[in-house]
Amino acid sequence: MSDALIELARRMLAGDRRALARLITLADDGHPGLAHVLREIHPRTGKAHVIGITGPPGAGKSTLVWALAAEYLRRERQVGVIAIDPTSPFSGGAVLGDRVRMPANTPAGVYFRSMASRGQLGGTSRSVRGVVHLLDSFGKDVILIETVGAGQSDVAVRTLAHTTVVVSVPGLGDDIQMLKAGILEIADVYVVNKADRDGADRTAAQLASMIEIGRESARAIGHGSDDGWVPPVVRTVALKGERVDELADALDAHRTYLVQSGRWDTLVRAQAEAELQEALLVRLEQLLARSPVAARKDQLIGDIAARKLDAYQAADALLAMLAPGA
């Protein structure tokens, strides 16, 4: 690790927000030296409660995130906010998004960062896990991750968060029908935001019914237990700050449940497995880029396009060149 990175890491661990900002930028840019920084700070991570917030566009996720951050500040918690925005096809940066929705003056106890998804599927950014570790080691008690908001595919946050919140809102299409099973099933807490609108009662009732049907189905096939966590449905009006305290209570209750049931350790292990898989992919890409097989890659791409090989055959050919005789 270079002396400059060592100094940045030292300053960040001492509470320097500018050093934290610089390290997050390096993480977002995929700087190779960041791996050494993450190695140094790793023993000081694992304390923060990471909360993923997802749902369709128009559900008011950004407003809810800021209302929730303010509530946690009232509870004397330090808060980190990571907002994942769509990627510009021209600059590669975040498109508008939360940079224009964030408060003009971020409170001292909150650290906010908007990041581009950079084409990553699942509503998150590839570098977000490293940013979570940086914020965790910086001393943030709660880290809120707001996904892009594709509505049906923002499920990758489950591999990052201890608690996942799915936000819906009355009046968007056919109520919860626009939230398909994939995203609904990842929720630990459901929120009906903008609950002062007509139809909020119906949306909340549909969610409660769906939860019960899911539990009955799980019991029928021998999974699930009445002693487990039952996802609550919380109605909020984030713009007015209404019932956000109830949401914070539900999130704290879920963390307590995870710890007391042993599920926290299970989640941490599953996230470690996902992180290892991501690290292996990064290292493989770096190995391919540095090795002589990189020159062969263009030819194989041409063979795939010409239908001479399929992608799996080409991948096998590249791997065979990396490890001949294996």
Q: Which two tokens stand for residue 240?
A: 């007015």
- pLDDT digits 0-9 by tens, 162-184: 999 999 999 765 545 545 555 66
At residue 55, the pLDDT reads 87
Higher per-residue confidence, 222 vs 47: 47
Q: Which two tokens stand for residue 144?
A: 């809120």
Q: CA dist 216 to 67, 163, 168, 209, 222, Å?
A: 34, 22, 23, 11, 10
Q: What is the CATH number of domain 45-261?
A: 3.40.50.300
Q: Which two tokens stand for residue 108?
A: 């001292």
Across the range 212-232, mean pLDDT stands at 73
Across the range 262-274, mean pLDDT stands at 94
How far apart are the C-alpha atoms of 320 and 326, rounded to whole Å? 7
Amino acid at 206: Q
Q: CA dist 56 to 283, 310, 312, Å?
A: 34, 36, 35
At residue 107, the pLDDT reads 77
- pLDDT digits 0-9 by tens, 62-102: 999 999 999 999 999 999 999 987 644 334 444 445 444 55
Check if the beta carbon of residue 56 is closer than 8 Å to that of residue 151: yes
Higher per-residue confidence, 31 vs 220: 31
